[in-house]
Amino acid sequence: MNKGGAPIRFKHRVAVYGTLKRGRNNSHILRGERFVGTDWMPKLSLYHLGPYPGAVEEPSTGVRVEIYEVNDSTLKILDELEDFFPERPQSSLYIRRTMDTRHGPAWVYLYNRPVKTIQRLNSGSW
């Protein structure tokens, strides 16, 4: 609750870079959530995984992200979409990690598989 007694609507900040971005096929999941802004995350590389991209933490030209503030239930939906299992992250397709953005710390879903043979997207956008 905030000072006025109203429930706090948004608890988590997330940075998205693929199908969750505005106009993409999963953007409806973030409809109604608070759009904060965009950023360029220089510590990430983006890889083309077919129907969706995957970001990994490595030196790179960076990745363009959109940042949203979301509530607990939306974060859980995002975890399911990204095949992230908090209780067993080693078996997750993506892991969720906090990273710094110009809008403050945000959760980022990082691809949790080897990328050695996958096409890197040097543009940083998907």
Pairing assessment for the beta strands 34-41 and 44-48 based on DSSP bridges: unpaired
Task: Give the span between the Cα atoms of 36 and 39, in whole angstroms.
Answer: 10
Pull the structure tokens for residue 99.
Answer: 């990273």
82 is catalytic: yes
What span, in angstroms and rounded, lies between the C-alpha atoms of 121 and 55? Answer: 10
Q: Where are the alpha helices (DSSP H) in the chain?
A: 72-81
How many Å from the N-terminal Cα to the C-terminal Cα in the chain? 37
**Which of 66, 69, 82, 87 is an active site residue?**
82
Active-site residue set: 82
